[in-house]
Amino acid sequence: MNDMTKIERAIEMNDMKISAKGVQVYYGDTHAIKDVSVEIEDKTVTAFIGPSGCGKSTFLRCLNRMNDTIDICRVEGDILLDGEDIYDKRVDPVQLRAKVGMVFQKPNPFPKSIYDNIAYGPRIHGLAKNKAELDEIVEKSLRRGAIWDEVKDRLHAPGTGLSGGQQQRLCIARAVATEPEVLLMDEPCSALDPIATAQVEELIDELRQSYSVVIVTHSMQQAARVSQKTAFFHLGNLVEYDDTTKIFTNPEDPRTESYITGRIG
């Protein structure tokens, strides 16, 4: 650290995609996130782990203002995306969510065709000038979602007619269709079997080439397999944040150690 030049330090700062400082979240009187600060790196998979109810989903939802949709939820502190305050009054949450996409625990395709599931976002955001361009975006997104080969002959069939694992890959393809910069995933594999899970994990590793990916997971094996950075939450606190290998082999905090060895959680 000490022998880094100013320029090296500046470059390292640039690699920070999201910077959260002193974040507090309340649901009415419940203090769900307590003074959390964290730097999320670009082109990196960051895992959020911790026992049920510790605030992983709450904190994840702060990163694209999904908590705005919960009436009793209040968020304080600063969250910067590429240095810009995402809670600034001038930021349109819909535009923000195109840049910071989200995949949920339960696959939730729209009740529309496979094609329209993908085309929906690009249409709203005016990403295609004509049908040919839209077709291209749809194909590219389905390829990135690693599901093109399985659906290319049934693009106009309903998305809800796919298997659970296929639906989740469709939802990932839908999230990447608007060219997001960050992809938030809240337990994206919890409804999937081991084969579909492996496919989604492989996909996450590929998406990391282009995006910053943040994944909430209850599976420590999954966190260890897919992430480079891991954040351990406990009772609304961010207890420890470090390289994934460090967290799983030599954590600093006894609470982290208890969790990864199965004593709490």
Ligand X SMILES: Nc1ncnc2c1ncn2[C@@H]1O[C@H](COP(=O)(O)OP(=O)(O)OP(=O)(O)O)[C@@H](O)[C@H]1O
Chain residues that interact with ligand X, rule: CB under 6 A: 27, 30, 32, 50, 52-58, 70, 72
Least Cβ distance, residue 177 to Mg ion (angstroms): 25
31 by Cβ neighbours in 10 Å (0-12 / 13-18 / 19+) ranks as: middle
Q: Which stretch binds Mg ion (CB under 5 A): 51-59, 174-182, 191-199, 222-230?
A: 51-59
CB nearer Mg ion, residue 107 or residue 159: 107
Amino acid type, 129: K
Q: How far apart are CA 138 and CA 117, in angstroms?
A: 9
**Closest CA relative to residue 251, chosen from 232, 264, 227:** 232
**Closest CA relative to residue 139, chosen from 104, 171, 109, 114:** 114
Least Cβ distance, residue 32 to ligand X (angstroms): 4
Least Cβ distance, residue 179 to ligand X (angstroms): 27
Least Cβ distance, residue 147 to ligand X (angstroms): 26
Mask for 3-42, x = binds Mg ion (CB under 5 A): ----------------------------------------
Least Cβ distance, residue 53 to ligand X (angstroms): 4
Whether the CB-CB separation of 12 and 35 falls below 8 Å is answered with no
87 binds, among ligand X, Mg ion, none (CB under 5 to 8 A by kind): none
Residue nearest Mg ion (C-beta atom): 57
54 binds, among Mg ion, ligand X, none (CB under 5 to 8 A by kind): ligand X
How many other C-beta atoms can be found within 10 angstroms of the C-beta atom of residue 81? 20
Q: Which stretch binds Mg ion (CB under 5 A): 52-60, 78-86, 230-238, 241-249?
A: 52-60
30 binds, among ligand X, Mg ion, none (CB under 5 to 8 A by kind): ligand X
Token representation of residue 100 = 């910071």
Place of tokens 């009772």: 235
52 binds, among ligand X, Mg ion, none (CB under 5 to 8 A by kind): ligand X
Measured in whole angstroms, the distance separating CA 98 from the mean position of its chain's CA atoms is 12
**Closest CA relative to residue 14, chosen from 180, 212, 184:** 212
Place of tokens 């026992």: 51
Size of the site for Mg ion (CB under 5 A): 1
Q: Which of 46, 57, 178, 256 binds Mg ion (CB under 5 A)?
A: 57
Whether the CB-CB separation of 107 and 170 falls below 8 Å is answered with yes
168 binds, among Mg ion, ligand X, none (CB under 5 to 8 A by kind): none
The residues with which 158 forms a beta bridge, in sequence order, are 113
